[in-house]
Amino acid sequence: MTLTLSTILAFIVTLAVLIVVHEYGHYRVAVACGVKVLRFSLGFGRVLWRRQPHPDGTEFVISALPLGGYVRMLDEREGPVAPQERAQAFNNRPLWQRAAIVSAGPIANLLLAVVFFAAAHWVGVQELAPVLASPPPGSLAQEVGLKAGDRVLSLESVAPESIAAEPDWRDVRSMTDLRMAIVQGALRGERLRLMVRDREGHAARMVTLDLDKLQARDVDEAMFDRAGVGVAYTDVVLGEVGPGPGADAGLRQGDRVLQIDGKPVDDAVDFLKRIREGVQPDGTASRRTLVVDRAGRRLELVVQPRVDVVEQRRIARIGVPLVQDAALVTVRDGLVEGLVDGARNTWDTSALTLRMLGRMLIGKASLKNLSGPGTIADLARRSMERGLGEYLGLLAAVSVSLGVLNLLPLPVLDGGQLMYYIFEAVTGRPVAGAWLRWLQGSGFVILLLLMSLALSNDVARFLGLH
């Protein structure tokens, strides 16, 4: 993660869009319910810009700290209200209207996510094709016999208790579809059935991954390594050859490695694994004989790797990067199909967010999964660089998170306010002032702790500690 001007700008744009929509949801429903809105603010703190009050009396402002926003409504609990305006005060509106106003912000974010996910599908997104790399030793993929170059055609998730359920096969269009299914299945403890075809195009076969064995705590690359199906297939094509063992052996940019020591190389993952593990007991690297294809000519070259120490482990390297030439597919939908996919993606992402939060709460998932503004900023920058479709997809995912998190029953969030209204609906009276102040204070402390944890995770990622 790098902190640059483009990263900061991407973060501000992303947050501004999502906050404006969230607060506009509150504002629009409040006005529809006859509540007078005094201020609509993007950001907190000192006002940097303001527009003359709207005919309905609302002042629109931009404030200095762009980490949120607020809609300030006329309310007798916050100051004196003129007798002729009492009917427009938020606290004097019927309970159902107050609940609608509070819930409108998160709902606006979820609806926005549907639109952005759909728009991403309409525009089209370049994604990695669902062609598998060599599975790591001991992974679930290796256990069921998956090989480098296998293409995943479709999948279905099966709950452990399911015995004779109707098949529910879904097409796998990209590696993103596959990785999402892996995450959901691992968190639910499900089996994942894959219909795959090998690189020669032979008849499709079915394999079953028992994702319950992963006992996933972190949604990270280590989890995908244990599953063995999270990395896309890449040929072994050498990049720019600088000074080092590769150059000494005569390797050149564009060489395609076919064999190591007389054995075929499956893909880039297999190549790196075999090179890196070539360290002898005395700490020196084994000399390797490579067969490469250079513009249609087969050449045999001998390379003497060097030994580096990475995370207290000795690995062999030839000092030549590989070209990332994994196959790409354009995922694009029609109008209706895009909306359906947008709604499904919003539902799946919401459920995944809630499930992960629940697992973190009971200790079954690591708190390292919490991300703060730094991670969002870096993802925003990278998605902007990859194109409009990618950026729209990120906006949708963050909008889902914002909507779901605001519905949590934490006193300072919209979900906490809704809990107060449920109490009022059941008992016939509002929460007592003393209790309200105590709950608000406690909720603020909890929220501050969560934000601190998310920021510390961002710092750890920035320093490469996560």
What amino acid positions are annotated as catalytic residues? 23
**DSSP category for residue 180:** H
Please say whether the beta carbons of 335 and 344 come within 8 A: no
d(CA 119, CA 201): 33
Amino acid symbol at 399: S
d(CA 306, CA 358): 46
Amino acid symbol at 27: Y
Which residue is it, tokens 């990263």?
7
d(CA 257, CA 244): 18
Amino acid symbol at 133: A
Q: What tokens appear for 315 in the block?
A: 């690995």
Please say whether the beta carbons of 146 and 134 come within 8 A: no
Number of other residues whose CB lies within 10 A of the CB of residue 202: 8
Residue 127, SS3? Answer: strand
**How large is the C-alpha radius of gyration of the chain?**
27
Q: What tokens appear for 204 in the block?
A: 């499709």
Round to the nearest angstrom and report the end-to-end CA distance of the chain: 11
Q: 330-363 burial by CB neighbour count: b if 16+ within 10 A, else e? A: ebebeeeebbebbbebbebbbebbeebbebbeee
Burial classification of residue 131, based on how many CB atoms lie within 10 Å of its CB (0-12 exposed, 13-18 middle, 19 or more buried): buried
Q: What tokens appear for 111 in the block?
A: 């609806």
C-alpha dist (Å) from residue 387 to 109, 152, 232, 391, 392: 22, 25, 20, 6, 9
Query: For the range 67-70, what are the long-range contacts, defined as Cβ-Cβ under 8 Å and sequence gap of 24 or more?
Result: 67/15, 67/43, 67/373, 68/19, 68/43, 68/44, 69/19, 69/20, 69/22, 69/23, 69/40, 69/41, 69/42, 69/43, 69/44, 70/23, 70/39, 70/41, 70/44
Q: Quick one: three-class SS letters along 260-329?
A: ECCEECCCHHHHHHHHHCCECCCCCECCEEEEEEECCEEEEEEECCEEEEECCEEEEECCCCECCCCCEE
Amino acid symbol at 432: A
Amino acid symbol at 412: V
